[in-house]
Amino acid sequence: MKAAVLEGIDRLVVKEVETPKVTDDSLLLKVRSCAVCGSDIRIYHYGNPRVKYPQIIGHEIAGDVVEVGSRVKRFKVGDRVAIGADVPCGECSFCRDGIGNNCMINYAMGYQFPGGYAEYLLVDPLVINFGPIHKIPDNLSYDEATLAEPLAC
């Protein structure tokens, strides 16, 4: 698959990379749209301590579920979904109390997890179970769905 891989400061390279393989607890998303956020531009120019190179960035994502692991129950092939940036850890006291928006660790798509500047995205179990991944209606375009994350900021 093709992906825009951030290899260092001011070095974003579009190249062929291996399409991720689905595990029992993950799903594969065909990325249909990924908006560019101001934080993507900052990461590109200045880096971020949470981003380890090489990394596929981009966290305003929408696409189609094309494969699901055997233990994934929340989504099925054909679902249209949008994914936002912040992914609670699922383990800290805030997450255990059901208020992951106050997570003490707070992972992010395009930072610790690969982002949406690629043809396909392997969605980690943590994102599926605790992250901002939601089904989108058929009357909402993929481009419009990517705006859910910045509009919610």
In sequence order, what DSSP letters do the residues of the chain get, joined into one string?
A: -EEEEEEETTEEEEEE-PPPPP-TT-EEEEEEEEEPPHHHHHHHHH--TT--SSEE---EEEEEEEEE-TT--S--TT-EEEE-SEE--S-SHHHHTT-GGG-SS-EEBTTTB--SSBSEEEE-HHHHHHSSEEE--TTS-HHHHHTHHHHH-
As a dihedral over the C-alpha atoms of residue 17, residue 128, residue 105, residue 83, rounded to 10 degrees, the angle is 70
| pLDDT reported for residue 39 | 94
Average pLDDT for residues 86-96, to the nearest whole number? 94
Residues 13-38: pLDDT tens digits?
999 999 999 999 999 999 999 999 99
Residues 141 and 135 sit within 8 Å (Cβ to Cβ): no
| pLDDT reported for residue 153 | 66
Distance in angstroms (rounded) separating the CA atoms of residues 93 and 104: 8
Domain boundaries, the chain: 19-37+58-152
Average pLDDT for residues 97-124, to the nearest whole number? 96
Residues 41-81: pLDDT tens digits?
999 999 999 999 999 999 999 999 999 999 999 999 999 99
| pLDDT reported for residue 133 | 96
Average pLDDT for residues 122-143, to the nearest whole number? 96
| pLDDT reported for residue 8 | 98
CA distances from 1 to 18, 46, 120, 122, 152 (A): 6, 27, 7, 12, 30
Q: Global pTM?
A: 0.94
Domain 19-37+58-152 maps to which CATH number in 3.90.180.10, 2.70.70.10, 3.40.50.720, 3.30.360.10? 3.90.180.10
